[in-house]
A and B are shown apart, each in its own frame.
Chain A
Amino acid sequence: MTQLPPSTTRKMGLVIDLDTCVGCHACVISCKGWNTENYGAPLSDQDPYGDASGTFLNRVHSFEVQPPACDAQPSPAAQLVHFPKSCLHCEDAPCVTVCPTGASYKRVEDGIVLVNEDNCIGCGLCAWSCPYGARELDLAAGVMKKCTLCVDRIYNQNLPEEDRIPSCVRTCPSGARHFGDLGDADSDVSKLVAERGGFDLMPEMGTKPVNKYLPPRPKDQIEDQIDILAPLLAPVTEGAGGFMGWLDKALDKLPGQSSGGSS
């Protein structure tokens, strides 16, 4: 239904770790493969061997972050963050309420936002209403396509239990994508979000995304620890006998060699 359910039993979604994503696009293509063959119309490509453009439900952006200069870091290096983005399955999904036909809906049982393609007239308004660019109109089918959270995998009795996860999560080589119930505070994904300070994209939009992003950990701070680290590099060569003097003493101290045994 076009109206949003007042609440959903579970809030299934993804947690994406920006500290771990290397930007390999594995999730992008795995998603393309699964969703071309499965739910609804195939994800088509136009002019695939020329100036190609096609429908994708998941795309990996990249951003550069330039930390501000400070005393400790007068010219800090810029950082690069790979940023996969697909439907966030918002609790307050504007794409659902704007739909004139009821094709877009949010499932009561798990909160997944889906498009019933049989009812979609391809007006595009849901895509206009989505701040995240999560929806793409398929030019061949004329209907709106979006991430289904692999609704045809996660409960699929024809798949082994361990494979009942979205295709992008299953394929992610670095393990940067996590799937679970974000409505359950005790779930692994919820704990991960709590531990690592997971955040929402564009919170000011009021969409209340279910998917969360884990921030990159602080980077390039090793020089700040130089005072703690420096003693580790205290030269042994300055003692009596220089390096060779140290070497002889150190060799004598090696445990148990003369007895032929080891520690």
Chain B
Amino acid sequence: MHPAPSVIVFTTLSGLGFGLLVFLGLGLPDVSGLVAFVFFAIAYGLAVGGLLASIFHLGRPERALKAFSQWKSSWLSREGCCAVAALLVMALYGFGTVFLATAWPVVGGIGAALSLATVFTTSMIYSQLKTIPRWNMPLTPALFLSISLAGGALLAGQETLATGLLIIAGAIQLAYWVKGDQAFATSGTTLATATGLGRGGTVRAFEPPHTGTNYLLREFVHVVGRKHSQKLRVIGFTLGFALPVLLLIFPFSGLMLKHLMAAVAVLSHLAGVACTRWLFFAEAEHVVGLYYGKR
């Protein structure tokens, strides 16, 4: 799949933003006033920023509101609904904490659940697609949820939780790569099933329909070299999970340094997740590539 910056930014930032909202909704950290405002501003900045970025992915962004209508069947629509609901509920909750110094736990709990649901719906947009075997696995929602929670915990300053969640997320990421690398081969879809010509012998894609490129090739066919991919995996894993965990468990002395290191951990995590998210798209092979002899 084409690793479009808009979808990478969207899933990375909004995942982190909603992850933070989950923790804020659960009262972790239990903040109010200006501090709460800063936390909520960061969370909303990330979540809304991510959502806005996703709009750039649209051919007709001015019609984006229509996307709320099909929640019954469409994960994308559900995501939109969940996101808006989560942002509204959490706004109410945030209003309480920032301006009234009151945390309404029920509202926060609902908001947290909706935020988590938003991340889940995002992951289901990808996970539902049988056409992309690497995504079409239960590990995909697990990956999105665990990264969102780990990032949220990290941002929320929940060191212990974050450490644990980062380790879990890192483990899921590794599992995702291992399973994902086998996904296409085990999906049962081959050029033979794609063309129905397998009974005659070995099928090979000869000429593409057009000599030039097209939307399908631009959107679905992205070849990442194996070496390149391994390198990025190491970078993504190190920055996204290993380094933040190390920074969290290393006993820094001094609050400033601790905060600085926490900030470094957050940025490292963000960069690492963005890197793995690039791979998430770039390595995903759509079955339509079979028809073009490219997958």
Q: Do A and B come from one complex?
A: yes
* Stretch from B122-130, B146-154, B161-169 that touches the partner: B122-130
A167-187 interface code vs B (CB 8 A; 1 in, 0 out): 000000000000000000000
CA distance A206 to B195 in the complex (A): 15
Task: Count contacts between A and B, CB distance < 8 Å.
Answer: 201
Instruction: Kindly list chain B residues whose C-beta atoms are within 8 Å of the C-beta of A103.
Output: 66
- Is residue B73 within 8 Å, beta carbon to beta carbon, of the partner chain? yes
A123-142 interface code vs B (CB 8 A; 1 in, 0 out): 11101111111001111011
Known interface pairs A80-B206, A119-B66, A141-B59. Does A205 touch B291 (Cβ–Cβ under 8 Å)? no
Tell me, rounded to whole Å, the shortest Cβ–Cβ distance linking A234 to chain B.
34
Known interface pairs A99-B74, A121-B66, A215-B197. Does A63 touch B131 (Cβ–Cβ under 8 Å)? no
B206 and A101 within 8 A (CB): no
A142 and B197 within 8 A (CB): no
Instruction: Kindly list chain A residues whose C-beta atoms are within 8 Å of the C-beta of B63.
Output: 101, 119-121
B58 and A123 within 8 A (CB): yes
> How many chain A residues have a CB neighbour from B under 8 Å?
68
B206 and A63 within 8 A (CB): yes
B210 and A59 within 8 A (CB): yes
Instruction: Kindly list chain A residues whose C-beta atoms are within 8 Å of the C-beta of B70.
Output: 2, 99-102
Instruction: Kindly list chain B residues whose C-beta atoms are within 8 Å of the C-beta of A200.
Output: 196
CA distance A97 to B215 in the complex (A): 21
B72 and A3 within 8 A (CB): yes
* Stretch from A65-73, A151-159, A252-260 that touches the partner: A65-73
Instruction: Kindly list chain B residues whose C-beta atoms are within 8 Å of the C-beta of A201.
Output: 193-196
Instruction: Kindly list chain B residues whose C-beta atoms are within 8 Å of the C-beta of A216.
Output: 197, 200
B214 and A56 within 8 A (CB): yes
Q: 8 Å CB contacts to A: which residues of B115-137?
A: 125, 128-132
B267-295 interface code vs A (CB 8 A; 1 in, 0 out): 00000000000000000001110011000
A101-129 interface code vs B (CB 8 A; 1 in, 0 out): 11100000000000000011111110111
Known interface pairs A81-B195, A133-B291. Does A121 touch B201 (Cβ–Cβ under 8 Å)? no
Instruction: Kindly list chain B residues whose C-beta atoms are within 8 Å of the C-beta of A142.
Output: 58-60
Partner of B205, one of A54, A63, A67, A85: A63
In the complex, which of the residues B60, B128, B210 has the most CB atoms of chain A within 10 Å of its own CB atom? B60
Listed in ascending order, the chain A residues whose CB lies under 8 Å from chain B are 2-3, 18, 28, 51-56, 59-68, 76, 79-81, 83, 85, 94, 97-103, 119-125, 127-133, 136-139, 141-144, 199-206, 213, 215-216, 218
Which are the 3 A-B pairs with shortest beta-carbon distances?
A122-B59, A142-B59, A59-B209
Taking A102-B66, A119-B63, A127-B219 as given, write out 16 further A-B residue pairs in contact, using a Cβ cutoff of 8 Å, ordered by the A residue number.
A28-B209, A61-B291, A63-B205, A94-B130, A100-B69, A100-B70, A100-B80, A101-B70, A102-B69, A121-B58, A121-B64, A124-B57, A124-B219, A132-B291, A137-B59, A139-B59
